[in-house]
Amino acid sequence: MNIESEKSLKLFNSFGFDVSAEFFVSVSSVAELHEAICWSKQKSVATFILGGGSNIVFTRNVSGLVIHIAIKGIDAETDPRPADQIPLRVGAGEQWHALVATTLKLNYFGLENLALIPGSAGAAPIQNIGAYGVEIAERLNSVEVYSKATGDTLLLNAADCQFGYRHSIFKTAQGADYVVTAINLNLLTRDKPNTTYRALSDALTRKGYLRPTAQQVFDEVCAIRGEKLPDPQQIGNAGSFFKNPIIDRQQLDRLMENNPEIPHYPDKPGHFKVPAAWLIDQAGWKGHQIDNVGVHNAQALVLVNHGDGNGQQIAILANNIKKDILQRYGVLLEREPTLY
Ligand SMILES: Cc1cc2nc3c(=O)[nH]c(=O)nc-3n(C[C@H](O)[C@H](O)[C@H](O)COP(=O)(O)OP(=O)(O)OC[C@H]3O[C@@H](n4cnc5c(N)ncnc54)[C@H](O)[C@@H]3O)c2cc1C
């Protein structure tokens, strides 16, 4: 185990913020993870678990030990297996998009809608990643975790993970003790992609794909994302900065009195999802720049680092947007990325 001191995290977060870790270690097995946790206990320092850094805003240097999860491995269970299904065990340190591409090459289907989401496989259950009508929770059988408190390894069934919209047990006080070491997926052997998401099905129809394959869905998702979302390699960002708020009928009716054109989609009974991007855009924030950070000029939901910005500036900008949206619309926006 190689513990480094004062390690720059600039290349370890998609905003590209120039912060450092007091101590840093990359672990490639559960045994190394255990060793790192024991070291932190001996030294009485805090730990911070890091995957690909694509859903984090570092507002300061990290004190204590940053543990970068680099546990690899993709193993399919081909015999015995349930009909039409392929159980796949994936190490938490595998890169998510590369995994999606690999499964397609192997003719294992079901992840194609989640193409091009940055980050690691182990972080996918943390906020229950979702895109184009599919959430990882639908493809997960169980999650293997390590308890920092006890040093035990546990298997959590998907039903125990409290998955919701960008939510899971790992975002609660109870789950904060767990480090995800592997995920167990249930993929399909039948090429029958989910095209229920309107923007996706429209794009596929325009291309003349009336019964698209998973590969065509994958290609189209990559194309749409490439057009819509800024590439963190070009301009630092963490994807969508706010969740889409879910409001009740009364709140929607009130909003529609002054904003009859507000887009809204049915969610849980009696509730509607409203695009946070629409609210932020209508409030005039799109393209807004302050210091070296701002709101992307084509995508109101994405906050960006224009160059030498820092996490504190992003946090202040996000707070100002949140306050403004609450004042204008009475809607409370919730942050998506972790703030440190
Ligand atoms: C351009 C762009 C587009 C994006 N699009 C989407 C999208 O469409 N849908 C979507 O849902 N998200 C999206 N995201 C957000 C992000 O990619 C996902 O949340 C991703 O799962 C984060 O993975 P990561 O490895 O980078 O996590 P990190 O940023 O490293 O960590 C995120 C959080 O999870 C914790 N964590 C990480 N790994 C583990 C682990 N093994 N065990 C326990 N805790 C862990 C960290 O401590 C942190 O709190 C996007 C981000 C970007 C930059």
Mean pLDDT by 10 residues, the chain (340 residues): 97 98 98 98 98 98 98 88 89 98 97 98 98 97 98 97 97 96 96 95 95 97 95 97 96 94 94 97 97 96 96 98 97 97
Number of domains making up the chain: 3
Identify whether residues 48 and 154 lie together within a single domain: no
| The predicted structure's pLDDT at residue 287 | 97
Q: How far apart are CA 51 and CA 13, in angstroms?
A: 9
Last residue in a domain, options 35, 69, 103:
69
Identify whether residues 146 and 250 lie together within a single domain: no
Beta carbon of 92 within 6 Å of any ligand 1 atom: yes
Pick the atom of ligand 1 nearest to 120's CA: 25
Identify whether residues 59 and 133 lie together within a single domain: no
| The predicted structure's pLDDT at residue 81 | 76
- 106 inside domain: yes
Which two structure tokens, joined as six digits, stand for 315?
């946090």
Which two structure tokens, joined as six digits, stand for 57?
């805003």
- 227 inside domain: no
Identify whether residues 52 and 84 lie together within a single domain: no
Range of the domain at 120: 74-188
| The predicted structure's pLDDT at residue 322 | 98
Q: What is the CATH number of the domain that holds 18?
A: 3.30.43.10
Nearest to 90 by CA among 214, 181, 156, 189: 181
Pick the atom of ligand 1 nearest to 122's CA: 41
Contact (CB, 8 A) for 328 and 322: no
Identify whether residues 85 and 166 lie together within a single domain: yes
Q: Tell me the C-alpha to C-alpha distance, in Å, between residue 303 and each of 16, 72, 311.
A: 13, 31, 11
Nearest to 214 by CA among 241, 234, 232, 190: 190
Beta carbon of 201 within 6 Å of any ligand 1 atom: no
Identify whether residues 108 and 176 lie together within a single domain: yes
For residue 80, whether the previous peptide bond is cis, meaning omega lies within 30 degrees of 0, is yes
Instruction: State residue 322 phi and psi, 5-degree precision.
Output: -60, -45
Identify whether residues 277 and 250 lie together within a single domain: yes
Q: Tell me the C-alpha to C-alpha distance, in Å, between residue 73 and each of 33, 38, 92, 189, 216.
A: 16, 24, 8, 20, 26
- 225 inside domain: no
Nearest to 270 by CA among 292, 288, 246, 293: 246
Marked catalytic residue, from 32, 54, 166, 168: 166
Tell me the CA–centroid distance for residue 256 and ligand 1, in Å: 34
Which two structure tokens, joined as six digits, stand for 275?
């695009």
Beta carbon of 113 within 6 Å of any ligand 1 atom: no
Q: How far apart are CA 317 and CA 169, in angstroms?
A: 28
User: Is 112 known to be catalytic?
Assistant: no
**What amino acid occupies position 288?**
H
| The predicted structure's pLDDT at residue 82 | 77
Pick the atom of ligand 1 nearest to 55's CA: 29
Phi-psi region of 265 (alpha: psi -120 to 50; beta: other; left: phi over 0): beta
> Could you give the 3-state DSSP secondary structure of residue 69?
strand
Q: What is the CATH number of the domain that holds 307?
A: 3.90.78.10
Beta carbon of 127 within 6 Å of any ligand 1 atom: yes
| Mutate which of 9, 33, 54 for ligand 1 pocket (most atoms within 8 A of beta carbon) | 54
Nearest to 291 by CA among 274, 269, 312: 312
> Could you give the 3-state DSSP secondary structure of residue 117?
coil
Identify whether residues 127 and 80 lie together within a single domain: yes
